[in-house]
Structure 1
Amino acid sequence: MQSLYILAYLTFFATSIQPSQICAPLRHRIKHQFHAVRHCQRSKRTVIGLINADTVSECAEYARRKHGMAFNYGPKNRGQVNLFELSTIRKENGTGNSPHPSKGTDAITTEPEEFYNCQILDCAEHRNLSSIVNDTRFDYYSLYTRPLPQDNATCVPSIGMLVVEDRKLNYSLAFNECQSMGGSLAHVASEARTNLISHLCADVSLAANKSAANASGEMYYVGLNGTEGNKFFTSAKEPLDCFLYRAWAPGHPSNVNQPGCVALSSNRSWTVHKCNKPLAFICELHTSGPPKHEVRLKRKCSVKRPNNRIAPGKKILLS
């Protein structure tokens, strides 16, 4: 995910530099950092990996290998009992409000299940945290924390958080609009990205009540342009020559449209247009640092604090 942010400051001005020298730094990818978003709560988004991890850093590394965007992690000292769930069971059985069974009474138990304290999630929570539930066993961590992705963002598993904009702007204005969202025009220089993002565009077009024919012909600006020396670069100044994949439509690119800016169609092809042409566009949201107020993870979980909202605390660093 998010490979476009690696070399945003690079400029390529020496024509004598060999391609291997230019592309070598691209192989050293950023190690994405997960940060705590909720304490004593977990996300119910789709789980794509389960392990028992000794540390939160081990869980985070597993999430990176699985291309997860978030995870639920339960410290070993929390145990395997969700006090919120147990409290609800006790109330339903009329045995009081305390989640802890009193001495001399039979403990209320639930059906046994295999427990993993590290749950990798395919997608991160959006701004309203709609899939968060109370669970004293876990804390919720995400790549997207400051700010949380907006409501109109869409998660594409293993790719990232994307915003498809139907507004038609020229390339420069679209580029700036994506920056204002905390992102950049979407990176498409791989087969998986081109296919999955174009499929998302088709879904958005059809959802907007466009006919299938119009949906397939819709063009969206992406993070690829040929405005520097008739060579194509990503939004982060990465040369397209450093990527193997191409999805050019027949007749593209051509000298007629050079210099030009690239758009992706919902039929999975790249086309080159004059950069002042107004088109719809696709933004890819950047991963972010820790939230403005760090979560107080050392605080004891309590059913009397059901929301467990973000509160100031110590910074959590994941190596």
Structure 2
Amino acid sequence: MPFPRLELQAVAKAYAGRPVLRGLSFAVGVGECYALLGPNGAGKSTSVRCIQGLTPFDSGEIRLDGRPLTQWPAGGHERIGVVPQSDQLDPDFTVEENLWTYGRYFRLPAALIRSRSRELLAFMSLEEFAQRPIQALSGEMRRRLSVARALIHQPQLLLLDEPTTGLDPQARHLLWQRLRTLQREGVTLLLTTHYLDEAERLADRVGILQQGSILAEDAPVAMIQKHIPGEVLELRRHDGALPDAENWHQGRVAAAERSGDTLFLFDPQLDAVRAHFAVDPQYQLLQRPATLEDVFLRLTGRELREEEG
């Protein structure tokens, strides 16, 4: 890993006696994209709020460029950009004025604010909308503007909380391109997302968070190869009955999981198993490469989570 821009060392946080972060430790290198993944209640939001300085933590340390956040002026805010999950744009201002106002928050010179605003509107393909009111923007245009606003002060670390939620495929791909450009320019990205394909495409490394600590950490491809080598075969019956009720697959595949009406089979070689079930017209089969989502669900479980964290 490159020199760490961000480090969390044994960070702990509890709400009303309920532990949310349990000695959380991970590091993100300069120019690296790190995806922090986890089910609802795992501690992702609390982690990001602690890094922002919005939530005090009970113990441990958070360091930015080798120094504790407490030793940076204003907790390092001038070095950190934040793209929140929900847009926090000012509806009383135009697109351009939203950037100007945010630039003033960091006490940037007026000339620099104006030049940076022009650059960022072009970067996010919003230049023709500079004088439009916020209400005239679509949801995906507001997300792009939120990213532009977070970059006005040229932060070294960008925190992205579910940045593509609600975006159509074209808008998602545009935003991914812009994030990769920022990374090539040396900006460090910390991404939280429920889109596992997004993490697989963007992240140099992913950390899977479970009950407030890192359960597994690696590059996406390496993590897939480690936990689910080979392919996945999904089995369903058209009539909704339990697939392979006789457990014919046992002893013939490396691993298997049942979830609702679907049986997931994991193995480097699935052709023989596929051939067995393909002759039964009641079966619907899907054979595909393993993904980061498969790893995530195997490690964290398939049940719904309702807790906040």
Shared fold per TM-score greater than 0.5: no
Q: Which structure has more RCO (C-alpha within 8 Å, separation ≥ 6)?
A: 1
- Structure holding more helix per residue: 2
Name the TM tier (shorter chain).
under 0.3
Higher normalized strand content (fraction of residues): 2
